Amino acid sequence: MATHASAEKRHRQNIKRRERNRAVRATIRTSVKKVLSLSSEGEKEAASAEFKRATTLLDKAVSNGVLHKNNAARRISRLQKQVASAQ
């Protein structure tokens, strides 16, 4: 366990960040799953609306430092292909 004050503060900060990152990634996973299920069912409008929401979530995760920009770009690209193939 941390013994210096700065190390204890760093530990507290890491815990907060970890919780935030886990929550953000969970919402992203849920949104991506919705896009995939809607596109596989052939619901075009709903899938594209959810795709827009997922894209926004991924971009925000990048700006908050939760995901790397290339990781988000790759996920968005793959989702775009799925939505396009459903239509």
The pLDDT assigned to 86 comes to: 79
Give 87's pLDDT tier (boundaries 50, 70, 90).
low
Task: Give the chain's length.
Answer: 87
Residue with tokens 């995939």: 36
Q: What is the pLDDT of residues 31-81, one digit of tens each?
A: 999 999 999 998 899 999 999 999 999 999 999 999 999 999 999 999 999
Q: Which ranges in 42-68 belong to alpha helices (H)? A: 44-63
Fill in the amino acid letter for 8: E
Going along the chain from its start, the domains and CATH numbers come out as 5-86 (1.20.58.110)
Q: Is the pLDDT of residue 2 over 90?
A: no
For 30, what's the count of Cα atoms within 13 Å in the CB-facing half-sphere?
A: 7
